[in-house]
Amino acid sequence: MNIKLLVLIALTSLVLSSCDRVAPTPSSHAISVDGAYIRAMPSGQKITALFMTLHNNSEEPRQLVGASSIVSKTVELHEHTTVNGMMKMGQVAVIDLPKNSATELKPGGYHLMLIGLKEDLKVGQEVTVSLSFADGTMQDIEAPVSDQYLKK
């Protein structure tokens, strides 16, 4: 047998056996999403909101730091707060996701704003939104366009 082939086999075995020893890295699989929906808006509106519950199923705190979608120019993280009795909405840099917990993005609280809609979104339409986390991972979710907020 050729010496080069033996060296190649030995190196391949060494690399493959060391793969089990690599420290695990955080992944977006630690985050699950339920109840996601995008607020239906009248035709011609260029802004809407996305709501959902994010479950951090890991032993480490996580942070949502951004989002994007092909249906809008930008997606921003926002929060409603009450200041001196007045409800105000503003952009935030992160949404903290404590370990082993659920964080609700809902009307009157945290939510994602889809700004500069490129098309009218229709009730029932599924929209893909990519969530970005502080550890560099991303996760795509599907959110239906809904008028459920009108029924409450």
Please report the pLDDT score of residue 46 as a whole number. Answer: 97
The answer to the question of residue 22 being in a domain is: no
List pLDDT tens digits, range 57-69: 999 999 999 999 9
The answer to the question of residue 70 being in a domain is: yes
The answer to the question of residue 17 being in a domain is: no
Which residue type sits at 126? E
Three-class SS of the chain: CCHHHHHHHHHHHHHHHHHHHCCCCCCHHHEEEEEEEEECCCCCCCEEEEEEEEEECCCCCEEEEEEECCCEEEEEEEEEEEECCEEEEEECCCEEECCCEEEEECCCCEEEEEEEECCCCCCCCEEEEEEEECCCCEEEEEEEEECHHHHC
The answer to the question of residue 12 being in a domain is: no
The answer to the question of residue 4 being in a domain is: no
Which residue type sits at 63? Q
Number of domains in the chain: 1
Please report the pLDDT score of residue 68 as a whole number. Answer: 98
CA distance 64 to 96: 6
The answer to the question of residue 6 being in a domain is: no
Please count the other Cβ atoms lying within 10 Å of the Cβ belonging to residue 62. Answer: 25
| Structural domain boundaries enclosing 61 | 28-151
Q: One digit per residue, pLDDT tens: the chain, 152 residues?
A: 566 554 445 544 544 444 443 334 444 468 999 999 999 999 999 999 999 999 999 999 999 999 999 999 999 999 998 888 898 999 999 999 999 999 999 999 999 999 999 999 999 999 999 999 999 999 999 999 999 765 55
CATH number for the domain that contains residue 40: 2.60.40.1890
Contacts of 148 (CB under 8 A, 6+ apart): 37
Please report the pLDDT score of residue 29 as a whole number. Answer: 63
List pLDDT tens digits, range 46-55: 999 999 999 9
Please report the pLDDT score of residue 151 as a whole number. Answer: 53
Contacts of 102 (CB under 8 A, 6+ apart): 53, 54, 55, 56
The answer to the question of residue 35 being in a domain is: yes
The answer to the question of residue 60 being in a domain is: yes
